[in-house]
């Protein structure tokens, strides 16, 4: 392979999600000192020259590469954890990261079964010597506090029975709260929080059906300015739609690291649950299969691991 082609292959192995370890090892293992010098001159996007004409790695790219090497490790570690421990650690990490990550708490609390969430709460006790409820209440000081405390504390009925009259009444309650959003943020309305944090998922689906009958629009169409409520409703009733959007955001050009980390989180946590439905929704929404997108955007062993996980159950 000509050296210029090696430069291109090496640069490609460093780009995207993960690192193409096989290509990197094959190329770098054969290099001599002059090859490394030529690469530094031929790839100014990775290297900078100081005022003494010393060529060195740009610190940002050093940090970037270290992080990309860690993606496979993080995915494997999450996969090998007990699901309860995994969820507990994901929620703790979200609290540490701050407001931009609070959606992960909504995700975990709203897409797990009552028994799974109870298990995660037990694991949180053991790992951190606190309850998730008290940590959420302590760390979250904005309008989302009541909603998130209620979600992580929830133990919902999971049977099929729904009271139509109550569902109709609660649809009217939600409609009134959202209609009066200019006077009071619906996420701070105690009745809205009660409904979303206590009602069964089948009951909520009926509520949202009646909401559309009242208003002529789906409830999420009225929640453009309240992302946390929208995410909660999607996670509770149409998780495949929520997860496909999260995966789509991870692949967007310019996605931040929080968005990118969701690729590992979603695939690892949903591989044994509803990955088939998520893949179908992703294909429908973006016009490309999730496996093809991973093939195109992800590198090396990290790519192979993700593809193995999404193929489970096929």
In sequence order, what DSSP letters do the residues of the chain get, joined into one string?
--HHHHHHHHHHHTSSBS--HHHHHHHHTT--HHHHHHHHHH-TTTEEE-TT--EEE-HHHHHHHHHHHHHHHHHHHHHHS-HHHHHHHHHHHHHHH-GGGHHHHHHHHHHS-HHHHHHHHHHHHHHHSS-HHHHHHHH--STTHHHHHHHHH-----SS---HHHHHHHHHHHHHHHHTTTTS-GGG-HHHHHHHHHS-HHHHHHHHHHHHHHHSS-GGGG-TT-HHHHHHHHHHH-HHHHHHHHHHHHTSTT--HHHHHHHHHHHHHHTTTTHHHHHHHHHHHHSS-HHHHHHHHB-HHHHHHHHHHHTTT-
Q: How confident is the model at residue 67 (pLDDT cuts 50, 70, 90)?
A: confident
Which of these three, 216, 237, 258, is where a domain ends?
237
The pLDDT score that the predictor gives to residue 60 is: 67
Predicted confidence band of residue 281 (pLDDT cuts 50, 70, 90): very high
Give the chain's mean pLDDT: 87
Are 188 and 216 in the same domain? yes
Q: How confident is the model at residue 21 (pLDDT cuts 50, 70, 90)?
A: confident
Is 42 in the same domain as 100? Answer: no
Say if 305 falls within a structural domain: yes
In a domain, 19, yes or no: yes
Task: Return the minimum-mean-pLDDT range out of 41-50, 170-179, 195-204.
Answer: 41-50
Task: Using pLDDT thresholds of 50, 70 and 90, give the confidence band for residue 203.
Answer: very high
Please give the tally of structural domains in the chain. Answer: 4
> Both 160 and 232 in a single domain?
yes
Q: Which of 126, 155, 184 is the last residue of a domain?
A: 155
Residue 33: is its pLDDT beyond 50? yes
Task: For residue 288, tell me if it sits in a domain.
Answer: yes
Indicate whether 284 pLDDT > 50: yes
| Whether 279 and 307 share a structural domain | yes
Task: Report the 10 Å Cβ neighbour count for 73.
Answer: 11
> Does residue 65 sit within a domain?
no
Residue 67 belongs to a domain:
no
What pLDDT is recorded for position 138? Answer: 97
Phi, psi values for residue 181, rounded to 5°: -60, -25
The share of the chain scoring above pLDDT 90, in percent, equals 69
Q: Bigger pLDDT: 102 or 223?
A: 102
**Token representation of residue 80:** 């090998």
Task: Write down the pLDDT at residue 47.
Answer: 57
Q: What is the pLDDT, as a whole number, of residue 237? A: 95
- Bridge partners (DSSP) listed for residue 55: 49
pLDDT band at 12 (very low <50, low <70, confident <90, very high): low
Burial class (CB in 10 A: 0-12, 13-18, 19+), 106: buried
How buried is residue 291: exposed, middle or buried, by Cβ count under 10 Å (0-12/13-18/19+)? middle
Which has the minimum average pLDDT: 26-40, 57-71, 94-108? 26-40
| pLDDT single digits (tens) 224-243 | 667 899 999 999 999 999 99
Domain for residue 66, yes or no?
no
The residue written with tokens 């509770």 in the block is: 236
Q: Which of 155, 185, 211 is the last residue of a domain?
A: 155
Q: Examine residue 76 and state whether it is found in any structural domain, yes or no.
A: no
Q: What CATH number has the domain bearing residue 99?
A: 1.10.220.10
Domain that holds residue 267: 238-314
The span from the CA of 169 to the CA of 72, in Å, is 49
């Amino acid at each position: 392979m000509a050296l210029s082609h090696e430069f291109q292959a090496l640069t490609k192995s460093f780009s995207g999600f993960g690192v193409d370890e096989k290509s990197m090892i094959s190329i770098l293992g054969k290099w001599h000192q002059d090859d490394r010098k030529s690469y530094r001159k031929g790839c100014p996007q990775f290297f900078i020259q100081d005022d003494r004409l010393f060529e060195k790695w740009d610190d940002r790219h050093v940090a970037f590469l270290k992080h990309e090497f860690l993606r496979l490790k993080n995915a494997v570690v999450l996969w090998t954890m007990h699901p309860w421990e995994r969820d507990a650690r994901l929620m703790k990490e979200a609290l540490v990261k701050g407001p931009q990550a609070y959606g992960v708490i909504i995700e975990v609390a709203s897409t797990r079964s009552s028994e799974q969430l109870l298990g995660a709460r037990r694991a949180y006790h053991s790992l951190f010597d606190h309850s998730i409820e008290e940590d959420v209440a302590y760390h979250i000081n904005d309008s989302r506090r009541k909603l998130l405390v209620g979600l992580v504390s929830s133990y919902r009925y999971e049977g099929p029975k729904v009271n139509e009259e109550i569902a109709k009444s609660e649809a009217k309650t939600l409609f009134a709260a959202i209609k009066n959003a200019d006077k009071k943020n619906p996420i701070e309305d105690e009745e809205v929080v009660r409904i979303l944090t206590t009602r069964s998922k089948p009951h909520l689906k009926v509520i949202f059906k009646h909401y559309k009958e009242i208003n002529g629009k789906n409830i999420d169409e009225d929640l453009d300015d309240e992302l946390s409520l929208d995410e909660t409703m999607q996670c509770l009733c149409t998780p495949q739609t929520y997860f496909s959007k999260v995966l789509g955001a991870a692949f967007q050009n310019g996605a931040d690291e929080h968005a990118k980390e969701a690729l590992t989180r979603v695939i690892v946590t949903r591989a044994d649950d509803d990955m088939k439905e998520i893949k179908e929704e992703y294909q429908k929404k973006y016009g490309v299969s999730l496996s093809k997108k991973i093939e195109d955007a992800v590198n090396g062993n990290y790519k192979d691991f993700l593809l193995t996980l999404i193929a489970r159950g096929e």
